[in-house]
Structure 1
Amino acid sequence: MVAVTETFPVADQGDWMGDAPADFGSLLSHAFELGDWINNSAFAAEYVYWKQRVQQDDEAHRIIKQFDKAKEAFAECERFGRFHPDYNAALERVYEIEASLDRIESVRRYKQAEASLDELLGEISRTIAHAVSNSIKVPDNDPNPKGCGNGGSCSCSSGGGCG
């Protein structure tokens, strides 16, 4: 961990601090300010609203309990691999209950709000990381990885070793 009193060299890009070196305390202060802006955004407000609606939805709770039980049953089958006699039926049951959950408006809208907020956070993370260096890897929840070393396409000629 970096000591709070340690200073970092001035970044080439951006001029929010002029020529002064950035100290860790100042960086943290700006990070918390950014966090406050995100918390006060429409994306966060919608996420919190629909999360509360799901928490108050009795039908959603009932189906979530069914979903948890179905996932447990499938996990038990999965321990033995797809050759377990109930593997396909257990997996199909998980998908059926998940589809039932997605038909509930509060759950569906919560998932949409969560995805929107996640996309915003990912974009902010990429913007910050790429302001430092384009080769910094930024984790996200995208199931389709991009770039070098992730099975995605990359324009570099290093054979997958960049980043």
Structure 2
Amino acid sequence: MLANLEVIEALEHAERLGKMIKQSEDFNIYEQRKNELYKDPKAQQLINDFTNMKEDYDDVQRFGRYHPDYSKIMKEIRTLKRDLDMHDSVAIYKQSETQLQGLLDDVSVIIANSISPNIKAPRDGIALKDTGSGCGCGSGGSCGCAS
């Protein structure tokens, strides 16, 4: 019974922490930027164009360089991606998203370290990666890992 009460209490603390994060300045800025992005017709058109082109790109990826439209589609997807990333409301949204992710990463690290310094917490996209000798896949690094 004690374990159940402790679990419930931990979940309640986590819920309160989530509410606190939702009241943070980083979250409010993120929400504002997200709303601005959804209201921007040019950004929405770029997102739709990119999403539609992504389907063609996925088809080309299955066949690689042997696909008849490989060069054309690869060039178009890169151009669309660049246009999308360079659009003001998209770039500002991504910055606010990164800022919020930093806050969440910091909270994760604090929680993990409060339990044990050996617990790995998500941080800058390196969550749960072995920072020692590499991934240990045994392929000698041919898979792209750091072993």
TM range, normalised to the smaller chain? 0.7 to 0.9
Q: Secondary structure at the residue paired with 2:118?
A: coil
Q: Equivalent pairs: percent with the same residue?
A: 31
Q: In the aligned structure 1, how far is the partner of 2:106 from the partner of 2:65? A: 38
> In structure 1, how many angstroms separate the alpha carbons of the residues matched to 2:6 and 2:79?
53
Aligned partners of 1:147 and 1:120: how far apart in 2?
Answer: 22
Q: How many angstroms does 1:30 deviate by? A: 1.1
Aligned to 2:143: none
Q: CA RMSD for the aligned pairs?
A: 2.4
TM-score (norm. length: structure 2): 0.78
What's the secondary structure of 1:81's corresponding residue? helix
**1:126 positional shift:** 1.5
Which range moves more in the overlay, 32-41 or 127-136? Answer: 127-136
Instruction: Give the aligned partner of residue 159 of structure 1.
Output: none
Deviations 1:44-69 (A, max 9, x none): 00110010011111101111111011
TM-score (structure 1 length as normaliser):
0.71
Q: Aligned partners of 2:23 and 2:39: how far apart in 1?
A: 23
Gaps of at least 5 residues in structure 2 are: 136-147
Say yes or no: does 1:148 pair with 2:129: no
Structure 1 stretches of 4+ with a deviation exceeding 4 A read 143-146
Give the structure with the higher percent helix.
2
1:77 equivalent in structure 2: 60
SS of the residue corresponding to residue 23 of structure 1 reads: helix
AA at the equivalent of 1:129: A
Displacement of 1:112: 0.5
Residue 51 of structure 2 is matched in structure 1 by: 68
Secondary structure class of the residue paired with 2:131:
coil
2:41 is equivalent to residue 31 of structure 1 = no
**Number of paired residues?**
134
Is 2:93 the counterpart of 1:110?
A: yes
- Offset at 1:103? 2.4
Q: Which blocks of at least 5 consecutive residues in structure 1 are unaligned? A: 9-21, 152-163
**Residues 65-94 of structure 1: CA deviation (Å, up to 9, x unaligned):** 110111111100001124434334322322
- Please give the alpha-carbon distance, in whole angstroms, between the structure 2 residues aligned to 1:89 and 1:137: 43
